[in-house]
Amino acid sequence: MLKRIFYIINIVLALLLLATYVAVFIPPHIAPKLSLLPFLYPTLLIINICFIIVWIFVKWKYIIIPLICILIRVDYIPNLYQLSGTEHRTPIENSEIKVLSYNVCSFHFNTKWNEDKQPRIDQIYNYVKELNPSIISFQDYNSSKTNKESIHYKLVNELGLKYYYSAINHKNRISGNVIYSKYPIVQSGVLFPTKETSNSYIYADLELKEGQIIRIINLHLASFKLQEEDKEKFNKLKEGAISDVKENAKPIAQKLIWANERRSKEVDEIEPILSENNLPTILTGDFNDTPFSYTYKMLSKNFTDTFKSQGKGFGTTYNGDFPAYRIDYIFCDKTKFNVKSFERKKLDYSDHYPVSTVLTYNPYDKNL
């Protein structure tokens, strides 16, 4: 009897795993509550694997349902975890392009409002200096342009990243989404003229060599807008320190749903532009969504996920209280780039970890 009860529980959890697959195909603004299911994928995957292990020793025929449910989308697992990958060589070859994407949290992560931010800025600059990227996509960025101690001044004048673009570029300050490049920028702008905020969608067309133009896009999609009180409440929920779970979880769930809806609308605007673009493209940014989401499904069309190609381990990029997920990405055109290496650096300088990749550009279609 007890065995049958556990089997029924396993069937329910296996069906929930299937539901996470279905949810990816439905825009969150059409089915808002369903958009929460993909967040459960890693947990449901692990639970079903545990059931399989138990059933092997108890009643092996019971493994069929959870095993089938896992195998239906076994391709999800590399989105979550990579057994092996390739780390960067130092230095890279002249023909290679090293790309960094980093949400720097305006250089105030784990600092008080009145605390000097320069030590945090120096830490991040030293990391960038050591990495020595050819192209940088920063999100949540803010820097003076005239102060010789500012990160902007050092990137431009000391590291050779003298070409840059941001939609928020004033005489003395630059902020929001920023692209820095060692290659000349021949054209740049925002994907939508009205989207000139800190969460902007910007692009820059770079000239690698004469006649070789590639496009770099830097996205920062809608975040969950969680406050410190939300994070504290979530931690108490995890620890079982709150008795009224439903009442306290509801406002957090509402914020997650709101952000999922907003991102799905953003993605539905962006995806057609990506599909119509004829330039070899590198897509970077803080997508604020997991690899099991509608956002990922739509934006990864026609692109190689550089983590899936050369990453290693879980690849977590969120450095916060909520469940650790990969929400920062570098994608590249499947037909025009080869991925040589990928790194996710666990630095406690921001609420995000930096991700970087080394690419080689092939002007000829690899599929021909």
Assigned domain for 77 exists: no
Q: Judge whether 246 lies within some domain.
A: no
What is the reported pLDDT for 85?
Answer: 87
The strands making up 328-333's β-sheet, listed across from edge to edge, are 185-190, 201-209, 212-220, 281-286, 328-333, 303-305
Residue 245 included in any domain: no
Domain housing 162: 96-225+251-361
> Does residue 100 share a domain with residue 210?
yes
Q: Is there a domain that residue 184 lies in? A: yes
**Three-point CA angle 9, 11, 13, nearest 5°:** 70
Point out the domain boundary residue: 40, 72, 104. 72
Tokens 């138990």 sit at which residue?
Answer: 54
Tell me, yes or no, whether 84 lies in a domain.
Answer: no
pLDDT grade for 79, boundaries at 50, 70 and 90: very high
Site of tokens 């037909």? 335
Establish if 279 belongs to a structural domain. Answer: yes
How many whole angstroms separate alpha carbon 140 and alpha carbon 258?
21
Contact between 133 and 99 under an 8 Å Cβ cutoff? The reply is yes
The predicted-structure confidence for 182-228, as pLDDT tens digits, reads as follows: 999 999 998 876 555 555 789 999 999 888 999 999 999 988 665 55
Distances (CA, A) of 39 to 45, 161, 195, 283: 11, 37, 28, 23
**Where does the chain show beta strands of DSSP type E?**
96-103, 135-144, 163-169, 173-181, 185-190, 201-209, 212-220, 281-286, 303-305, 328-333, 337-344, 355-361
Contact 250, 237 (CB under 8 A): no
More confident call, 276 vs 207: 207
Which residue, of 72, 87, 105, is where some domain finishes? Answer: 72
Residue 241, pLDDT score? 47
Res 90 pLDDT > 90? no
Q: Tens digit of pLDDT for each residue in 330-351?
A: 999 999 999 999 999 999 999 9
Count of structural domains, the chain: 2
**Dihedrals phi, psi of 214, to nearest 5 degrees:** -125, 160
* Same domain flag for 199 and 277: yes
- Is residue 367 included in any domain, yes or no? no
Residue, of 113 and 41, whose pLDDT is higher: 41
CATH number where 207 lies: 3.60.10.10
Contact status, residue 34 vs residue 26, Cβ threshold 8 Å: yes
* pLDDT score at 364: 75
Q: What CA–CA distance (Å, rounded) separates 219 from 201?
A: 5
Counting residues of the chain whose pLDDT is more than 90, the rounded percentage is: 66
Amino acid at 169: N
